[in-house]
Amino acid sequence: MSTARVITGIWRKHEETKENPKESSLKTRYYRKSRESLINDIKKVVQNGKFAGWALLNEDVARGEIMLEKGAYGMVITIYKITPMQAAIDVYCSKEGMLGDFGNSYRYILEFFNALRTEAEPES
């Protein structure tokens, strides 16, 4: 993690993936799987401990959202249905409290995608 990200993290408490980010590692991920299949893969990754320390807080299948928590950190994973056999994932991670996250939200998003890679491989 870069020093600039840590310094910015003193006052910044969140990070998110999106379609056109400044940093390519925070780009929306696309998968050749159905939305329901990806939701099951994400739950499996969390419940089997591949994404260590995170707990499933809430799941809203109708909206395609899964909420996770780890201490003062919260993560909302949104799964979008593109076609019946293609879906996209965006992640929003934030920290509660006075100080920023010192770049941890960024690190947690990357850790999530690395853990999910064991169950589902994104399109390139």
Give domain status of residue 61, yes or no: yes
- The count of structural domains within the chain is 1
pLDDT for res 99 = 83
Residue 51 lies in a domain: yes
Q: Buried b vs exposed e over 111-121: b needs ≥16 C-beta within 10 Å?
A: bbbebbeebbe
Does some domain include residue 88? yes
pLDDT at 21: 92
Residues 25-71 have pLDDT tens digits of 999 999 999 999 999 999 999 999 999 999 999 999 999 999 999 99
- Specify whether the CB–CB gap between 56 and 43 falls below 8 A: yes
Can you give the pTM of this predicted structure? Answer: 0.91
Q: State residue 57 phi and psi, 5-degree precision.
A: -95, -45
62 pairs with which residues across the strands? none
Q: Chain centroid to CA 7: how far?
A: 22
61 is in which domain, residue-wise? 3-116
